[in-house]
A and B are shown apart, each in its own frame.
Chain A
Amino acid sequence: MKIRVRIKTVNLRNIEFLIEEAFTGIVRNGLMAFASISTIALSLAVLGAFVLAMMGANHFTTEQIDRFEIAVFTVPGAAKAKADALADSIRKIEGIKDVSILDRDEEYAKFKRERPDFESAGLLGNPLPYALRVRIVKADQLTMLSTKIRALADVDHVNVGQETYKRVVALANAIRAISFAGVIILLITTAFIISNAIRLTLYARRREIRIMQLVGATNHTIRTPLVIEGIVFGSAGALVAWILLRLGGGYVVHSAQRITPMFGSFSSGLSGAGLAFWLLLAGAVIGAIGSLVSIRRFLKD
């Protein structure tokens, strides 16, 4: 009972001392701190770059899928009123984002510009039916909605680009699966590299840990500053990784956009602050767990 009371008193009084010990340790073991922080920074930067690239790829493919539209053509000779009525009917279907009727004359002018031979064939008037551009909410409902539209009155033809759509969806699914597996593997590898870096830092200080034990420091007194150190190393590494990713990521996306304008919309969808938050969280958690696990080995009496 007497010992229990003593431990409690030490805990409360020593918080300041333990934090002080952690920062003194970091400053006095500068080289090891640098080695740890740079290893953590590079590991997190590689992990972060991979996650961002995968998020970007997912975002990009999802966006491409969302761009799929359904083209609906009225029966030849249908009047504008019928096209309007058809548009209204389509809008009522659940899952439709919006419907627009293309300007028939404008489309014909465009067609004539592209195929001047039709003009020479002596066609009279505008032979084109009304065309409706239908955008949907969920890309995976494309087939189902096109079937419903096809069943409506005055619909002559519905074009969904089914084959292209299927290929893009398959590609998106493959990217998702690969990125998920990749992130898991890279996460395990990063955790392993970081905990090894921390273990090496502690190994270099094993003599110090031993002396602490011999002067009567409890495991708690030895462990706490070292865990704080691990959190500081992890967070500092995350901060460096964030800077690397912001600078490097911006450059890569900018270059890609210059080469292929299609990548104009390439973005992970994660803000700078969001990225910093997740990196700091990952760094701090991996740092704390890495330290805790590594210290256990040195504290075995």
Chain B
Amino acid sequence: MFRDFGFIKPHNIVHPEIPKHQHLSPSRFASVGVLGYNCPREKSVMIYVKDVSVEYANGVRALKDTSVTISKGEFVFVVGSTGSGKSTLLKLLYRDMLPTAGTVIVDGENVTAMKPSAVPFLRRKLGVVYQDFKLLPQKNVWENLAFALRVIGTKPKEVHKRIGEVLELVGLTHRCDSFPNQLSGGEQQRAAIARALINNPTVLIADEPTGNLDPTTSWDIVQLLEQINIRGTTVLCATHDSQIVDGMKKRVIQLEAGEVIRDENKGAYQNSES
């Protein structure tokens, strides 16, 4: 019925053909499947990127009319060579940048139409893991995690409980007093994943999380991401690591020069047909 998300407002969806008492929030709208898009695996949609283009001031086009739909609970690898637009696509999701054209909807919120003051609240719903970890260097592991909780006003008692749980999940309880520069690359990435998980995010976005790690540690990190996915969190992971993508056999979206050239369930790093 409605093939375009253009009419969606972030907090209220109203359409003259729907009686007022049936007006729904965007997330519920998506979950009941009335938006009319081709919903993969009949699940509710977590990430919807429609006809998105990103053009930099120097004229370089990082993304060209790209459309991607990711369902709740999926584990998706985004692959492609350097400059293919992987990081740009991820940055659009946590509103680190805005597209030149197109619409981005994450967990029912129209990220492109969002007011700047609402951006921090979007980011609290997402967990983001970076190649360079981005841990606060002046804080130890425990404080890095506590900071992410305290900024959203979590009570100190709840902070202690939650940090204990997450550190156990990532296997870093014994290093909670260490500062980032006292940790190995793998430990830093575990700390970064712990921070990304601390707010129970609906989506975990990982931008080349194994880029600075050796193969064994990389594999451990990806196993950890899979565990997190099994618990119900949607995971979107941009990577260059062919061994990991081939070993995991998850959905693979391949970008090339800003365009999606392949979207394959249980895909491999390289196109199986090539």
Contact pick for A212, options B11, B96, B151, CB 8 Å: B151
Nearest Cβ on chain B to A34's Cβ, whole angstroms: 15
Contact with B along A10-49 (1 / 0, CB 8 A): 1001100100000011001100000000000000000000
Chain B residues whose C-beta falls within 8 Å of the C-beta of A212 in the assembled complex: 136, 147, 151
- A293 and B11 alpha carbons, distance in the complex (Å): 33
Interface positions, chain B 101-126, Cβ under 8 Å from A, are 116-124
Instruction: Judge whether A114 is part of the interface by a CB distance below 8 angstroms.
Output: no
With both beta carbons as reference points, the residue of chain B lying nearest to A301 in the complex is identified as B116
For A10, the chain B residues whose CB sits under 8 A away are 151-153
Interface hits, A198-225 → B, CB 8 Å: 207-208, 210-219, 221
User: Is B134's beta carbon under 8 Å from chain A?
Assistant: yes
Whether the pair A17, B150 counts as a contact (CB closer than 8 A) is: yes
A123 in the interface, Cβ–Cβ < 8 Å? Answer: no
CB atoms of B153 and A214 under 8 A apart: no
Nearest Cβ distance between residue A268 and chain B, in whole angstroms? Answer: 42
Candidates A2, A25, A29, A218; contact of B120 at CB < 8 Å: A218
Residues A25 and B138 in contact, CB atoms below 8 Å apart: yes
A215 contacts B148, C-beta separation under 8 Å: yes
Interchain CA distance A214-B134 in the complex, whole Å: 9
Q: Interface majority SS on A: helix, strand, loop or mixed?
A: helix
| Residues in A neighbouring B153, C-beta threshold 8 A | 6, 9-10, 13-14
B86 at the binding interface (Cβ < 8 Å): no
Which residues of chain B are within 8 angstroms of A214 by Cβ–Cβ distance?
94, 96, 123, 128, 134
In the assembled complex, B195 has its CB within 8 A of some CB on chain A: yes
Given A6-B121, A9-B153, A14-B153, are A216 and B148 also a contact pair (CB < 8 Å)?
yes
B residues in contact with A81, CB < 8 Å:
none
Please encode chain A, from 222 to 265, with 1 for each CB lying within 8 Å of some chain B CB and 0 for all others.
Answer: 00000000000000000000000000000000000000000000
- Is A273's CB within 8 Å of the partner chain B? no
B144, chain A: closest CB distance, angstroms: 9
Answer whether residue B199 sits at the interface, using C-beta atoms and an 8 A cutoff.
Answer: yes
Q: How far is the CB of A210 from chain B (nearest CB, A)?
A: 8
- In chain B, positions 68-122 with a C-beta closer than 8 Å to chain A are 94, 96, 116-122
Instruction: Give Cα A208 to B139, complex, Å.
Output: 10
| B135 part of interface (Cβ distance < 8 Å) | yes
Q: A216-B124, A218-B151 are contacts. A3–B138 as well, Cβ < 8 Å?
A: no
Q: Give the Cβ gap from B21 to chain A, nearest Cβ, in Å.
A: 19
Q: Provide the A269-301 mask, 1 if CB < 8 A to any CB of B, else 0.
A: 000000000000000000000000000000001
Judged by a CB distance under 8 angstroms, whether B137 is at the interface is yes
B120: chain A residues within 8 A (beta carbon):
213, 216-219
Q: Which A positions have Cβ atoms within 8 angstroms of B?
A: 2-3, 6, 9-10, 13-14, 17, 24-25, 28-29, 207-208, 210-219, 221, 301
11 A–B contacts, CB within 8 A, in A order: A28-B138, A207-B137, A208-B136, A211-B136, A212-B151, A214-B94, A214-B128, A215-B147, A216-B120, A216-B124, A217-B120
Residues in B lying within 8 Å of A, measured CB to CB: 11, 94, 96, 116-124, 128, 134-139, 143, 147-148, 150-153, 155, 195, 199
